[in-house]
A and B are shown apart, each in its own frame.
Chain A
């Protein structure tokens, strides 16, 4: 199954084209790192893939569903963490997850294991505002996988994470299709099968291979796989305790 299929994807802010036209294809279970300088269009692309914004033009199919038409149905199968964490400072870590579990139509009992998964079991009853930025990021990641999504869309998920938190990413990605924006090339290599570099909203070649020489855009690459992280571990190889 194809997790992401975009054809001629374009986004505009006013008259200015900020992304595209872009073609993209991601197979189920594949992980794509989106790289690029500030303002390259990474967040814009990720917001489109997360159904947080509608494209100005082009076709976008996620998990075999037309993304612009059946957004609500699709959102049960997507997990997203953006620049803003979207959590409530006055609620505890556990209450935040319980609330989002209810919005997903799940029982509150799903919250505790998700919290344990990201190593926040010990601070479950601490309010968000009393957690460090890294712990808040972990909580946002826990929320993104609370409903066991097939496709994860993450905008700089490594922001504020310590080494242990970065290791968690690999475990969270296990068995899922992932599109992740990052500035950390080593982390991207460790976690993802492929990479897409954006420059001024356009594809600027494969940062791990030769620059793009025309023709269709990013396609699955045979034999590609995550390489070991700088700490020697292969991302995603470690099961969570």
Chain B
């Protein structure tokens, strides 16, 4: 109960700061739209090639938007010493980390709320509930893992360089499974069209649980030296 209270307080604080400061969300939205415009020109997309290439473009944009978002999650806190101030309360590093990760997840979901409709407009991508569900499932695991590495990277001077190096290799499973799932969904397959051997939803859910538990356990060692 106390864990959940701290987690929600930290996430709410992060979102309130973001809504007032408007540091990340406008930049992320701009990044997403510009990326899609560039992709449209670079791949010379038309009505037939757009939907075929959409899954790849979606995951590329999502991965880099995630790196931008998570990079600031802990760096901003370290800059003003507020991370230490939080850690010096009895709240506990895992609950504080969970709150930060929850806040980052909400931020990335807000970014996706722009990305997916923008893909439908710019790339004529068929956005179905199955696509949305896949992206949301992948977002949770990517956000928690990304936040863990962001916390680690924030302790170094080269944090902007370190975060992609650490996070990208472990995001690959989400991209592999997620892009396959989105491909199936965009080609007309709905919730019931998964091949029994693939079951991308279940796999993404497993990844989420695994990385959520692992990152929460590791948070204590990463945050509280």
Binding site for B on A (CB under 8 A): 50-54, 71-73, 75-76, 78, 80, 82-91, 95, 99-100, 102-105, 127, 143, 147
Contact = CB atoms under 8 A, between A and B. Distances in A.
Nearest to A50: B88
Nearest to A74: B90
A83 B84 CA distance: 11
Given A85-B85, A95-B16, A127-B20, 4 more contacts: A52-B88, A72-B92, A88-B17, A103-B96
B90 A84 contact: no
19 contacts: A51-B88, A52-B84, A73-B90, A75-B88, A78-B88, A86-B81, A86-B84, A86-B85, A87-B85, A90-B16, A91-B20, A95-B16, A99-B9, A100-B85, A100-B89, A105-B90, A127-B20, A143-B85, A147-B89
A103 B6 contact: yes
A225 B2 CA distance: 41
Interface string B44-87: 00000000000000000000000000000000000011111111
Contacts of B10: 103
A52 B83 CA distance: 11
A71 B92 CA distance: 10
A72 B225 CA distance: 13
Contacts of B86: 86, 100, 103
Contact of A84 (B13, B81, B89): B81
A25 B13 CA distance: 39
A52 B5 CA distance: 23
Interface in B86-102: 86-92, 96
A105 B2 contact: yes
Nearest to A104: B89
Given A52-B88, A86-B85, A90-B16, A102 B80 contact: no
A99 B13 contact: yes
Contact of A80 (B16, B21, B80, B88): B88
B90 A82 contact: no
Interface in B76-135: 80-92, 96
Interface in B3-54: 5-6, 9-10, 13, 16-17, 20-21
Given A87-B80, A88-B80, A103 B91 contact: yes
Given A53-B225, A91-B17, A102-B6, A75 B90 contact: yes
A86 B90 CA distance: 16
B82 A86 contact: yes
Contacts of B84: 52, 82, 84, 86
